Structures are given as C-alpha cells and as structure tokens.
Amino acid sequence: MNEVLKVKDLSFTYNSAQTLKDVNFVVNKGDFLGIIGENGAGKSTLMKLITKSLKYDTGEITIFGEKIEAFASWDRIGYLSQKVTSFNLSFPATVEEIVGANLYKKVGLFKRIKREHRQMISEALQKVGMYGYEKRMIGELSGGQQQRVFIARMIVNEPEVLLLDEPTVGIDAKSQEIILSLVKRFNEENGVTVLIISHDMQAIEQYCHRVLVMTNKSLSERTIKTEIFKERKILRYKPY
C-alpha cells in the first residue's frame, strides 16, 4: 500500500473557537512533506491530532490504512515534538537512558536493557553522529547535540514514518543543517516517510518534495515551491 497517512475532512475546535476546518491531505510512502503557515494557524494542533495527543471533532485519520482510534503499532512511527527543546536539563539521565526509553516494548517495563538493546542504541547514536556519548548526562550537551540524541531516540526502533514538529527551533544554524540533512538521508537512503512542520521556509524549499500551506484553518498544496516565497505577505508570516 502506497498510502501511509490520510487525513479526511478533519475539524477541531478549542475553547469554542474552530482551529481546523475540513482538512484533507495524504502522505504516501517515501514522501518528504512539509507544512508551513503563519504562527497560530494550527500546524502543531494538526500534529497533535495525528499523534492522538488531542481528539478531533469530526473527520477521519488513518495510518497504514487503519483508523487512528484502533492503531496500535506506534513503534512504526517516530515522533519528535517541540517540547524536546524545553527538556529539563537537570533531569538525571544519560544519553543511553534517554534513547533506550523508546525501546520499552522490546525491553519491558521496569526491566534493565540488555546487550542487544545497547547495540541498537549505539547504532542509532552512530547514525546521528553521537556515538560515544552514551554515558554523558543529557544536560551536559549543547542544544544541537540534545536534539540529535532525541532524533536517535526517535529512530532507535527503525520507524517507517517520521513526524517532526519544529525540529530545529532553538538551536544554532549548523545544528539545524546537520539535523535536516540527517532526516533527508533517512528519507533517501532508507525510504523513511517524513512529515515535517517548520517555520523555516528556506529549509522547507530545500528539503521537502511536497509542501502544504496552512491558511484559513485548512491546507492547500503548492506544486511549485517557489510560489511559497511569493506568498509571504499573504501568509503574514512571522518567524519565531
């Protein structure tokens, strides 16, 4: 099946104000799809609905052909939220523990990780250029390094789909480029499907195959990515 994610006639209301109305789009296997829009347009709300952090009012979301309400194979999905940038740096956890926490289905709750799990962690860290940092405390790392650790956590289960909500917010330009290049490599070399929300219009144009623009509580696709730049004033776009 080529269709990985389908959002149909999706609407959502928050505090009596409609945030999303009749949103429709499809993500196919191997896509690198970007979503942009003005601040407060509902992009992150849409991501929360897709990951079941919020419950939509009407419409339908299917993942791998299965309605999201019944979908249970979340180890096939890698998710990176905005909240990782506000992670408590004093939290007493090593890089290995942070990445290994996403192996709970394989390890089991309240059980110690085994050699095979440590190998999986090391391989994930190697992919993001953080091999050798396993025993370092997460709070000792720079913002860009921390984000790469969280990406390693996201990919340690070798997911088929990556969902990223503003993955480069709050980190330096060099780290931004490293992270987006990593995601691009997963997409091109491993066939991983990517859905990314970003305020960085240049990154969206450079890395994404398809672009959706969120305006008026809904989405529209831009087949020619340079059109996005012509619409800056229409979007009243304000970077963070």
Helices (H), 156-200: 173-190
Q: What is the structure's pLDDT at 25?
A: 95
Block residue for tokens 């969280």: 150
CB distance 167 to 177 below 8 Å? no
Band of residue 230 on the pLDDT scale cut at 50, 70, 90: low
The answer, yes or no, to whether residue 84 has pLDDT greater than 80, is no
Task: Return the pLDDT at 172.
Answer: 82
pLDDT at 236 over 60: no
Residue 189: partners with Cβ closer than 8 Å, 6 or more residues away:
none
Amino acid at 150: F
Q: Which of 121, 238, 240 is nearest to 171 (CA)?
A: 240
Kindly report, residue by residue over 146-188, the tens digit of the pLDDT: 989 999 999 999 999 999 998 888 788 888 888 899 999 999 9
- List of long-range contacts for 12-19, beta carbons under 8 Å, 24+ apart: 12/42, 12/45, 12/49, 12/54, 12/56, 12/57, 13/57, 14/45, 18/217, 19/45, 19/217
Distance CA 25, CA 212 (A): 9
To the question of domain 3-235 being in CATH 3.40.50.300, the answer is yes
Q: Does the pLDDT at position 223 exceed 50? A: yes
Label residue 112 exposed, middle or buried (CB < 10 Å: 0-12, 13-18, 19+): exposed
pLDDT of amino acid 238 = 39
Q: Of 90 and 136, which is predicted with more confidence?
A: 136
- C-alpha dihedral sign at 38, 42, 45, 49: negative
- 144/33: higher pLDDT: 33
At 214 the pLDDT is 87
The pLDDT, as a whole number, for residue 144 is 87
C-alpha to C-alpha distance for 3 and 27, rounded to whole angstroms: 6
Residue 83 reports pLDDT greater than 70 = no
- C-alpha–C-alpha distance, residues 17 and 20, integer Å: 9
- Specify the pairing of strand 210-215 against strand 218-222: antiparallel
pLDDT band at 106 (very low <50, low <70, confident <90, very high): low
Whole-angstrom Cα distance, residue 86 to residue 171? 11
Task: Determine phi and psi for 43, rounding to 5 degrees.
Answer: -65, -50
pLDDT for 186 equals 93
- Average pLDDT of every residue of the chain: 85
Does position 114 have pLDDT exceeding 60, yes or no?
yes
Give pTM, 2 decimals. 0.86
CA nearest to 162, candidates 129, 185, 134, 133: 185
In this predicted structure, the answer to whether residue 202 has a pLDDT above a threshold of 90 is: no
Question: What local confidence, expressed as pLDDT, does residue 228 receive?
Answer: 54
Q: pLDDT grade, residue 237 (50/70/90)?
A: very low
Please report, for the chain, the start and end positions of each structural domain, with discontinuous segments joined by +. Answer: 3-235
Whether 61 shows a pLDDT value over 90: the answer reads yes
